[in-house]
Amino acid sequence: MELQQIRAFVAVAEELHFGRAAERLGMAQPPLSRTIRSLETELGASLFQRTTRSVNLSPAGEALLEPAKHMLATQQAAVESVHRSSSGEVGRVRFGYSHPSSRDLAATLVAASHERNPGITFQLESTIYADEGLERIMDGTLDLALVRWRRRPPLIAGRPVAIERPCVAMPSSHRLAGRKKIGVEELADEPFVLLPARPNSNLRETAMRLCLDAGFSPRTVQEAPDSQSISALVAAGMGVTITFDSVAAGYDSRVSAVPLDLPNEATQLHLAYRLDHQDAALNTVLDVAEAVLPTVR
């Protein structure tokens, strides 16, 4: 059965008059009659009881009517779904981020998007560091990511949505915990707890670079897979860590964070996506992000 046949059958079944049904469908009556006869031939049953004065559904027509209406409704729903997808009203966005600061921003964007466009769903990945996030945007396994970079990579678009400044986190009982600022060189003899070298994290890279610029290589006594683990290890007295103020804000209450004396070391956190993407749902989410995650300078 073709949709044209089903549409013709439903029109006649509801109007019980070939002339009115033809007018409703915007066609002449003879082609409508031929369409109904073709459908009856295909099904091997008469769908209407016709007299010179009336048209009524046959038992076979009664049996077909509800399934036929369902077929038309399904077809219409499919068309509407395609239109909504093309307009960015529905779709899926794969969103990667890491660190407590990024999670708060991600939650803000996801909640606002859901409120404004409930047809868009998110696939969230919460352990995506800078290099991995950018690589996965490029290979198409992520659509959007919150990442840090010092220089924007080719084919990546994005804008800064947060500014972060380096600090040193240490147990609250540490001898330097009460200071207003600390020079990186003062940490030369301290044991460090850091993120692992792989996957590469901008946070670890920043810590290593700042230490090397200050004339020493950090003595790493323990690596930990995420900021929560680092927080717990620092709180337990295992060592100190260089992190960003936004990350340290989510650390254990037994940890103190002191700004590093580096006024020109602010880092921007970017909302990044592929420059040449053609995803309508992602465009809708980016429009929401403009409102709820404004650009920072």
Mean pLDDT estimate for the chain: 91
| Structure confidence at residue 224 (pLDDT) | 94
Residue 87 — very low, low, confident or very high, per pLDDT cuts 50/70/90?
A: low
Superfamily of domain 166-259: Periplasmic binding protein-like II (3.40.190.10)
260, 166 Cβ separation under 8 angstroms:
yes
* Residue 73 confidence (pLDDT) above 80: yes
Mean pLDDT lowest among 67-71, 74-78, 122-126, 173-177: 74-78
- Fold of the domain spanning 3-87: Arc Repressor Mutant, subunit A (1.10.10)
Both tokens of 168, joined, read 């040193």
C-alpha distances (whole Å) from 242 to each of 104, 131, 260 are 21, 19, 9
Task: Say yes or no to pLDDT of 2 above 90.
Answer: no
The answer to whether 231 and 255 are in contact (CB under 8 A) is yes
Predicted model pTM? 0.67
The tens digit of pLDDT for each residue in 188-224 reads: 999 999 999 887 778 899 999 999 999 999 999 999 9
Has residue 291 got a pLDDT over 90?
A: yes
Q: What confidence score (pLDDT) does residue 229 get?
A: 94
- Give me the pLDDT at residue 88, please: 64
- Higher pLDDT: 82 or 119? It is 119
- In this chain, the answer to whether the domains covering 3-87 and 91-161+268-292 adopt an identical fold is no
Please state the rounded mean pLDDT for residues 252-279. Answer: 93
Q: Are 237 and 185 in contact (CB under 8 A)?
A: no
In tens, the pLDDT along 159-181 reads: 999 999 999 999 999 999 999 99
How far, in Å, CA of 179 to CA of 175, rounded?
Answer: 9
CATH number of 91-161+268-292: 3.40.190.10
pLDDT of residue 84 exceeding 70, the answer is no
The pLDDT of residue 1 is: 78
Least confident of 55-59, 75-79, 220-224: 75-79
Could you state, in order of their start, the residue ranges of all structural domains in the chain? 3-87, 91-161+268-292, 166-259
Query: Residue 140: pLDDT band by 50, 70, 90 thresholds?
Result: very high
With residue 157 as reference, give the H or E element that holds it.
Answer: strand 156-164
Q: Per-residue b/e over 103-125, b at no fewer than 16 CB within 10 Å?
A: bebbeebbebbeeebeebebeeb
